[in-house]
A and B are shown apart, each in its own frame.
Chain A
Amino acid sequence: MRDSDARDAAGGSYDELIADDGSPRDHARRLLDFFASMPAAELAASQLAVDRTIADMGISFTVYSDGDNIDRAWPLDVVPRAMPGSEWDHIEAGLKQRLQALNLFIDDLYNERRILADRVVPAEVIDSSKNYLAPCRGMRPAHGVWAHICGTDLVRGGDGTVYVLEDNLRVPSGVSYMLENRNVIKRVFPSLFRNHRIRPVDEYTTSLSAMLTSIAPASSDRNSPNIVVLTPGIYNSAYFEHSYLAQAMGAELVEGSDLLVDSDDCVYMRSVEGLRRVDAIYRRIDDVFIDPHEFRADSVLGVPGIMRAWRAGNVAIANAPGSGVADDKVVYSYVPDIVRYYLAEEPILANVPTWRCSDADALGYVLDHLPELVVKPANESGGYGMLIGPHSTAAEHDDFRRKLREDPRNYIAQPTLSLSTAPTCCDGLLEPRHLDLRPFVLQGEELSVTAGGLTRVAMRKGSLVVNSSQGGGSKDTWIIEDKR
């Protein structure tokens, strides 16, 4: 989205901390009092303290266009985003329900394909998806779980409803920044923490390690399997996180060239002691790069033969190859039906209303209402190829009308949401800025959800773009205990 397109959408937005009448919401009263009592100079000084702490702790991210300087300091706003525990409990239950259903769905797609036979999801949606990987057919990963780590994007609309925007089942990132945001804010405002009962987030790496242990092959030492984090290398934008998680779990951080698959179909790590068997791989590279024997032959990031080892049950891979099939936009529109189909329950969390353009009636509606809708291609991620109706020109609308008529099956449309806001420190003043929330959900033998997640905030006034590479910032996210 271009900056000039960013209108001031704050008018119709829900504020996370402040009620419509301008008074603090109950759960945020003490937090807002703390910042309201702070003179502007002190607020600016505390933002500087946060920035300095981040530099000292070496918390960085990578921007590809930044030339030789590949490390940039992570942007963190001083004002936390808070949510009451009772509301979070509801969201947490919804996230668990959703991931459980999605895993049953993926397992079904690569095996019996019942949901397709029962015509709840049309078979052609799956068979035409480039994320449906034929080499995964017939696989039964441990506990029937394919997507072990999920980074669901949540947004709150103008009426206060929390919606799932995306499921992110491939290689979601951001969890290390969630953990570090908490560490920084604790250092800078220790007294604030003493006055609140805030749910801790720091057990995430322990849960991650336990989850990976629970999916390691039965043949490995289940007490201490050899777990590795597979990274594309230091030039990847999330390298800081890969290295952070490996260190926090005591796992080796490996690149493709550090691993090999031997004639016994087991994966080994090249170590100074010789070859060492690897039991579980937390991979942070995309499906198509993982094995040059099976997918992209030109991949230098992957490990030749790793799919063979995985299919033989000799190594666990998280997320399992092929999980991305449940991550495309058309499949997303069926998730409420998927939840009902497998769990016989109503979905706890709402989807953003979605028009599938393959449906003739829906297409007609979309073509008529283009200026007020967001149109997304089914199989792209990272915001590529999107149309944001209200922020686009008439020529762009016409261009999209043509694309939609030519290839309706490849598009979905959604209403333009006015993301919720929270007070944010901008040049020493508190102003509302739009934000989203990415909690992290783990499923292995058990299910767990981070308390809160990573809040990303659009630092430019009125902007809805929260990506850190485009001027987005972040906030520490507090789930405040409201039960006595």
Chain B
Amino acid sequence: MLSRAAERVYWIGRYLERAENTARIVQQYSQLLLDMPADVGVSWAELVRIFGAADHFQLSGYDQSEDTVLDFLLADRASPVSLVWSIRRARDNLRNTRDLLPQEAWESVNELNHYAAEQLSGAARGDDRFETLSECIARCLQLNGAFDGTMSHEMPFRFLRLGQHLERADMTSRILDVAATYIQFNKPVARRYGSVLWTNILRSVSGFQMYRQYRQAEIVGRDVIDFLACDTGFPRAIARCLSRATYNAALLPRSSATRDVLDEATALLEDLPSLHPDADAVSARLDELQRRLGRAHQTLCDTWFLPTETQ
């Protein structure tokens, strides 16, 4: 398999996952704000931090109103964290690898791209936001279903999944990081609304129902962190994502360096829940985890996308 094709397929996995996560988070965040009194200081700007785009947002001179933030995250074609951007990138990469991926995936991603371009600026303003985001999520799920059910589980599929799981691990870790930091700086709110906040964090990765089913505990910080970081069964838990990434990497040639970095990242999770409620320690550990995920990405790029050694 050509390195360039592998790289494109990997980015399809990442961008589609990012698109789905973006839609889920914005959808959930809109719900959370409806539950919060206006004076508690949970703001739309917090959402920009989850995407690691605070600097970009500030430099662009945007205000922190709902309209501006949501336009930046959903419909802004110049914003590299927006939903339209992710969908467009997934589509562009798919266009270049059509021969490797199922025909129906190409058609679906085109439809999704048109739908997003038409509907998302309205969703940013609030019209039918919930329905539009639900539709985007559903179409992402459909695409993943097409990959899973109609393409051979060979090398291109492995790169798709590798991209998807690394992106998902990254997103869950960002959400936990922002939550920990927020609670650290807003202790009174956290005391009063703690359970609502943690519930919404679970919901933002669609984890509330499964948490309830398998943990049955009351919703407290330590257990939520444990569930989202260390659970080996929940598909959006970091440990689960890393184990799936490792599994897919292991099926590719010359994977040892990538697997080593993924193992190091996994090792950082073990005692993460016990660091709670020391938010500084949790946050520092999650920062370390994100650096390790970045290194995993770099390692796999060096190995498979920019090879310098002969076979």
Residues of A within 8 A of B (CB): 234, 243, 247, 252-255, 257-258, 268-277
Q: Which residues 221-271 of B have a CB within 8 angstroms of A?
A: 252-254
B→A interface (CB under 8 Å): 1-4, 6, 95-96, 99, 155, 252-254, 304-311
Q: How far is the CB of B108 from chain A (nearest CB, A)?
A: 16
Bound: A161/B308 CA distance, A: 57
Q: Which residue of A lies closest to B158 (CB)?
A: A272
What are 14 pairs between A and B in contact, CB < 8 Å?
A: A252-B2, A254-B2, A270-B2, A270-B3, A270-B4, A270-B307, A271-B1, A272-B1, A272-B3, A272-B155, A273-B311, A274-B253, A274-B307, A274-B311
CB pair B311 A275 closer than 8 Å: yes
Q: Complex: how many Å from CA A252 to CA B310?
A: 17
Residues of B within 8 A of A271 (CB): 1-3, 307, 311
Contact A272 B310 (CB under 8 A): no
B155 in contact with A274 (CB, 8 Å): no
Chain B interface main SS type: loop
Given contacts A258-B4, A272-B155, contact A243 B311 (CB under 8 A): no
Contact assessment for B2 and A273 in the assembled complex, using a CB-CB cutoff below 8 Å:
no
Q: Report the minimum CB–CB distance from A328 to chain B (whole Å).
A: 35
Additional A-B contact list (20), CB under 8 Å, known A252-B2, A270-B2, A272-B1: A253-B99, A255-B4, A257-B4, A258-B4, A268-B310, A270-B306, A270-B307, A271-B2, A271-B3, A271-B307, A271-B311, A272-B6, A272-B155, A273-B253, A273-B307, A274-B254, A275-B308, A275-B310, A276-B310, A277-B310
For the complex formed, measure the closest distance between the CB of A66 and the CB atoms of chain B, giving whole angstroms.
15
- In the complex, chain A residues whose CB is within 8 Å of the CB of B254: 273-274
B88, chain A: closest CB distance, angstroms = 12
Contacts of A270 in B (CB 8 A): 2-4, 305-307
Residues of A within 8 A of B155 (CB): 272
Known: A234-B96, A243-B99, A247-B99. A275 touches B2 (CB 8 A): no
Give the docked Cα–Cα distance between A164 and B307 (Å): 47
Q: Is the CB of A275 within 8 A of B307?
A: yes
| A258 in contact with B3 given A268-B310, A274-B310 (CB within 8 Å) | yes
Give the CA-CA distance A272 to B155 in the complex, in Å: 9
Residues of A within 8 A of B311 (CB): 271, 273-276
A276–B6 CA distance with the chains assembled, in angstroms: 15
Smallest Cβ distance from A372 to chain B, in angstroms? Answer: 49
B253 touches A272 (CB 8 A): yes
When C-beta atoms are compared, the residue in chain B nearest to A247 turns out to be B99
